[in-house]
Amino acid sequence: MKINILKSAIGCLTATGFLLSATASYAEDTLRIVSWGGAYQKGQSLGIFQPAAKAMGITVKEDTYGGISDVKLMVKSGADKFDIFSSGAGSCASGAAEGVLEKLDYSVIDVSDHLPGMYSDYCAGADIFSVVAAYNTDTYGEGNGPKTWADFYDVEKFPGTRAMRGKVDAQLETALLADGVPMDQVYTVLDSEEGIERALNKIRTIKPHIAVWWSSGAQHAQLMKDGEVDMTTGWNGRFDVAKEDGAKVAYDWQSGIMDWEGYGIPKGAKNKDLAMKYIAEMMKPEYMAEFAKYITYGPTNGKVYELGLMTDERARMMPSHPDNAKHQLTLSTEWYSKWRTIAAEMYTEMMTE
């Protein structure tokens, strides 16, 4: 009996040793990437992550994560959990400001075909999404719901319950646009505490009509699906997926606020050079076109449209399609890296009043 135990213990030890040496040699051509899960990461995985890994002959392991704070905490504590993360441009900018990201090497990563502004020193843009005002088509009728942010804030013309995000991101802009601030002035007005307060005051006017402060994309899609609220702010792709599932939901591009998502590398990532090459691979238009088949988030690489990699019908559903983009405000990552913390505290104060 004792001998058996000893034998299996030795067996285990050797196996562990073998595994350890195996991972060590693996690590050379293995990358770990994290994203947001759900319908979004499913599209990324099938359209981009795995095909790109296959093309390069490397292994890419996927996981989900909780956002840029995870990157920060990981880097600060010296842990090593992933090599690349998928992140909103604004979050990426705040991570860069905290000094926890590797600067991207654009001599390796080719962004010459990227749409203007769709990449930064620390974040290589991968898809474009929009925050829109979605409404219930049962309540208002298809095409007769709130089209602009002014409509969203007009409780007399469009009575009904609303939902807004429980975090400040892309919410203040809606208030200022509704307040009649021209698109190109929004971030100028917001560039002071008074400006932020002006936006918050506008939100205060509809606060009694806000039934829910949502906290995730899955939640705002569900709120529309269940008819819990009549309109909400939220990400266009989630509403399109909900609509395919039979939700009575529609939105108009006039209410869009465009934002983009990209890839970043945490400071000190062990496989930095390979990560850089992999990001370069993922920037190719064919992957972006494939991703957009799963969820309506448009490519950052202009070549996708030029090469006709997407059907015209599908292309028209993308936030970045020229016909849709022309109505929209583009989210300023600069503003967020400067003001996000202050604005977030003021926003919470408004919410708890």
Binder to other proteins among 167, 198, 314, 327 (CB under 8 A)? 167
Does 72 participate in binding other proteins (rule CB under 8 A)?
yes
* Tokens encoding 138: 């049962």
For residues 269 and 102, is the Cβ–Cβ distance under 8 A?
A: yes
Q: Which is nearer to other proteins, 268 or 322 (CB)?
A: 268
CB of 33 to other proteins, least distance (A): 21
Binder to other proteins among 155, 211, 218, 317 (CB under 8 A)? 211
Binder to other proteins among 194, 312, 313, 353 (CB under 8 A)? 353
Q: What is the DSSP string of 170-219?
A: TTHHHHHHHTT--GGGHHHHTSSHHHHHHHHHHHHHHGGGEEEEE-SHHH
Does 212 participate in binding other proteins (rule CB under 8 A)?
yes
Q: Residues binding other proteins: what is the number (CB under 8 A)?
A: 28
Among 31-39, 111-119, 183-191, 213-221, the segment contacting other proteins (CB under 8 A):
213-221
DSSP H helical segments within the chain, as ranges? Answer: 2-26, 38-44, 50-56, 68-76, 89-97, 137-140, 149-152, 172-178, 186-189, 193-206, 217-225, 236-244, 272-282, 285-291, 303-306, 312-315, 322-325, 333-352
CB of 317 to other proteins, least distance (A): 28
Does 197 participate in binding other proteins (rule CB under 8 A)?
no
- Distance in angstroms between the alpha carbons of the first and the last residue of the chain: 69
Binder to other proteins among 30, 113, 213, 327 (CB under 8 A)? 213
For residues 51 and 292, is the Cβ–Cβ distance under 8 A?
A: no
Does 345 participate in binding other proteins (rule CB under 8 A)?
yes
Q: Rounded to 5 degrees, what angle do the CA atoms 303, 108, 271 make?
A: 120
Which residues within the stretch 224-243 sit at the binding site for other proteins (CB under 8 A)? Answer: 226-228
For residues 4 and 33, is the Cβ–Cβ distance under 8 A?
A: no
Does 344 participate in binding other proteins (rule CB under 8 A)?
yes
Does 201 participate in binding other proteins (rule CB under 8 A)?
no
220: closest CA among 296, 212, 64, 352? 212
Q: Which is nearer to other proteins, 227 or 302 (CB)?
A: 227
CB of 41 to other proteins, least distance (A): 19
Helix (H, G, I), strand (E, B) or coil at 138: helix
Q: Which is nearer to other proteins, 27 or 212 (CB)?
A: 212
Q: Which is nearer to other proteins, 192 or 215 (CB)?
A: 215
Which residues within the stretch 260-299 sit at the binding site for other proteins (CB under 8 A)? Answer: none
319: closest CA among 245, 244, 240? 240
Binder to other proteins among 6, 73, 108, 307 (CB under 8 A)? 73
> Which positions lie near other proteins, rule CB under 8 A?
66-69, 72-73, 94, 98, 166-167, 211-215, 226-228, 340-341, 344-346, 348-349, 351-353
